[in-house]
Copies of this chain bind each other. A is one copy, B any other.
Amino acid sequence: MRGVIMHAPGDVRVEDRETPTLVETTDAILRVAAACVCKSDLWPYRGIEAVDGPAPMGHEYVGVVEQVGEDVENIEVGDFVLGSFFASDNTCEICRAGYQTHCVHRQPGAATGAQSQYVRVPLADGTLVATPGMPDDDLIPSLLAASDVLGTGWFAAVAAEAGPGKTVAVVGDGAVGLLGVLAAKQLGAERIITMSRHADRQALAREFGATDIVTERGDEGVARVKELTGGLGAHSVIEAVGTQESMMQAIRSTRPGGHVGYVGVAHDVALPGEELFFSGVHLHGGPAPVRRFLPELIELIWDRTIDPGRVFDLTLPLEQAAEGYRAMDERRAIKVLLAP
């Protein structure tokens, strides 16, 4: 089969790879209907994370079940399914509490190599959720978004306790931040402030429910959020970047007693204890337990209540994956869908 391999920073190629087969009796093999490039794929692409030899890429996928191991019960051959980037059993105490990314049997690198024609998914019963039937083509981008960026933005909004009567601020205008806006809107937030300086992303944020745009960053961005909230700060702040500046901007934009939901993967971040202490905010985040939200998100997509697939502003055949990476690296695209 064909699949994406990263050889070195900036060097992404589509090559022949061995088609995956069942390894454990709890595995499933999917024929990938759509995959995509994640912002986290850009860390090694940009040389910020090391690339240890040729690495199969991709961890977001939707597809049709081709084979299942003999212990798989909830998923059948022919089902259209999606799952998150962590495999989880969905039955342990941690999963039952809604933290499947911390499942006691979790497999973080589970569906690695999903930018390809086929992918093996471990713990299929716990990890995968089937759609009510075969989706119309136009639903596929939204279902694919649910498998990572929507699930992550949704978790951030839940962690930030977005809800009725709340003012929500969003730091980060990538796919996750934009879908955090969509999630906050769905959760009933009264006012949603997006921090963005890109016209196209501002426009999509408004479509998703943003009521205010703040173009300033850092301390000036914080001051602007305070101005918009009677000097108090937002009730709920979504952090979707993962840098020192973005974390501090999020914490400082939150009112005392308010909630920060942070899902940007922390790179070289150290939170000053004394400032955090006197801020009085709640802090919650981490790798999003997307699996918790999948049934609800699939329903909202199936009913066409939400259209998170709008974040894919470039669709390419799998064979042109290298161009997809370039477009995201150069910020010509918010998020790139790859069709095998």
Q: How far is the CB of A32 from chain B (nearest CB, A)?
A: 28
Q: Is the interface of A mostly helix, strand, loop or mixed?
A: mixed
Do A282 and B280 touch across chains, with their CB atoms under 8 A apart? no
A–B complex contacts, Cβ < 8 Å, 16 sampled: A94-B257, A97-B257, A98-B257, A99-B257, A101-B256, A102-B257, A102-B280, A266-B273, A267-B273, A268-B273, A269-B272, A269-B277, A270-B270, A270-B272, A271-B273, A281-B284
- Complexed CA–CA distance, A55 and B231 (Å): 33
Q: Collect the chain B residues with CB atoms within 8 Å of residue A269's CB.
A: 272-274, 277
Residue of B nearest to A256 (CB): B102
Q: At the interface, yes or no: A232 with Cβ under 8 Å from chain B?
A: yes
Known: A282-B282, A283-B284. A277 touches B262 (CB 8 A): yes
Q: In the complex the two chains form, what is the Cα distance from A247 to B277 in whole Å?
A: 11
Question: Which residues 283-324 of A sit at the B interface, judged by CB distance below 8 A?
Answer: 283-287
Would A231 and B286 count as touching, CB distance under 8 A?
no
A277, B286: Cβ atoms under 8 Å?
yes
B266 and A231 contacting across the interface, CB-CB below 8 Å: no
A140 within 8 A of B: no
For the complex, is A201 an interface residue (Cβ under 8 Å from B)? no
CB pair A274 B266 closer than 8 Å: yes
Minimum Cβ distance to chain B for residue A143 (Å): 26
Of A102, A230, A255, A273, the most chain B CB neighbours within 10 A belong to A273
A-B pairs, top 7 by smallest CB distance, nearest first, are A269-B273, A266-B273, A102-B256, A99-B257, A280-B286, A271-B271, A283-B283
B271 near A276 (CB under 8 angstroms)?
A: yes
Cβ contact within 8 Å between A277 and B265: yes
A86 to chain B, nearest CB (A): 11
Q: Which residues of B contact A257 (CB under 8 A)?
A: 94, 97-99, 102
Q: Which residues of B contact A93 (CB under 8 A)?
A: 230, 232
Question: Which B residues lie within 8 Å of A98 (CB)?
Answer: 257
CB of A93 to closest CB in B, whole Å: 6
A104 within 8 A of B: yes
Query: A102 contacts which chain B residues (CB < 8 A)?
Result: 255-257, 280
Chain B residues near A186: list those with CB within 8 A. none
Counting CB contacts under 8 A, is A21 at the interface?
Answer: no
Residues of chain B within 8 A (CB-CB) of A277 are 242, 262, 265-266, 269, 285-287
**Looking at the complex, which one of B247, B280, B283, B286 makes contact with A278 (CB distance below 8 Å)?**
B286
Taken residue by residue from 83 to 112, chain A's Cβ proximity to chain B (1 for < 8 Å, 0 otherwise) reads as 000000000011001110110100000000
Q: Check if A26 is an interface residue, CB within 8 A of chain B.
A: no
For residue A279, CB closer than 8 A to chain B, the reply is yes
In the bound complex, residues from chain B placing their C-beta under 8 Å from that of A256 are: 94, 99, 101-102, 286
- A278 proximity list for chain B (CB < 8 A): 286-287
- Bound Cα distance from A276 to B266, whole angstroms: 9
